[in-house]
Amino acid sequence: MTPVREQSDTAEAALIEAVARGDESAFASLYDRYSSILFGLLLRILRDRPEAEDCLQEVFLQVWQRAPSFDSARGRPFTWLVTLARSRAIDRLRSSGARTRTEQAAFAETTEPVGDAVADAFRSEQGEVVRGALAEIPEEQRRALLLAYFEGLSQSEIAARLGQPLGTVKTRMRTGMMRLRELLRGQFEGTLTNF
């Protein structure tokens, strides 16, 4: 963990506290800082622009209302915001129909492999680090993690999708997450909760 990173986390936590007090300009700053990364994430999950725009509005209004529940002891502002956005997007995905969703996941996997082409346009430091870490974990673990995170598939849906026993899939996902944590921890030299 670098000092710069620590500072920015603290500054952002302060921003969220200000948002919790109803500070509109703090809310605007938070939007300006996070709307692009969150919108990119929503587009990746929902694959539909109007839907992602709707969802982004829902996410930020929820941030506005839920900011008092943000607890910097539990995790970084980045994690809080991304987790909230991902949850909203997956909710939408699930309510749009489970059958089409697994089909979409199959489609998504074939059209957007890890390290997709869009990434050429965007090479952030963190992006590189996480990509690098993902590339180091075995393919079958990585696939299961990405199916869960971006396609919103549950453990049993992943097992069905990969044609593997549920127990195997669960172990792989746990092992993959442990490995990823280890790799990222090494990269950022940070403490666990702060990554």
Partner 1 sequence: MTDDGHNKEALALDALGALGDDARRALGAHLAACPACRRERDELEGVAASLAHTVAPVTPPAELRARILDSARALKLADANGHSPDTNGRAHDANGRALGDTSGRVLTPPPERFTRRGPRRSWVVYGAIAAGVILSILSFDIFKLWRENASMREEMARLSREVDESREELARANDEAARERALADVLAAPGARVVTLAATKDAPQRASARLAFDDASGRAVLVASGLPPAPEGKAYQIWYIASGRPVPGRLFKTDAEGRGTLRDEVPADGRAARTFAVTLEPERGVTAPTGQILLSAAT
The reply to whether 174 sits near partner 1 by the rule CB under 8 A is: yes
75 is an interface residue for partner 1 by CB under 8 A:
yes
Question: Cβ of residue 91: shortest distance to partner 1, in angstroms?
Answer: 5
d(CA 154, CA 16): 31
Cβ 150 to partner 1 shortest distance, Å: 7
Give yes or no for residue 46 binding partner 1 (CB under 8 A): no
Helices (H), the chain: 3-20, 24-46, 49-66, 77-95, 98-111, 125-136, 139-151, 155-162, 166-188
Total residues at interface with partner 1 (CB under 8 A): 84
- Is 16 one of the binding residues for partner 1 (CB under 8 A)? no
> Least CB distance from residue 11 to partner 1, whole Å?
18
Torsion of CA 183, 87, 74, 30, to 10 degrees: 100
Q: In the bound complex, what is the minimum distance in angstroms from residue 40's beta carbon to partner 1? A: 4
129 binds partner 1 (CB under 8 A): yes
Q: How would you class 15 by CB atoms within 10 Å of its CB: exposed for 0-12, middle for 13-18, buried for 19 or more? A: buried
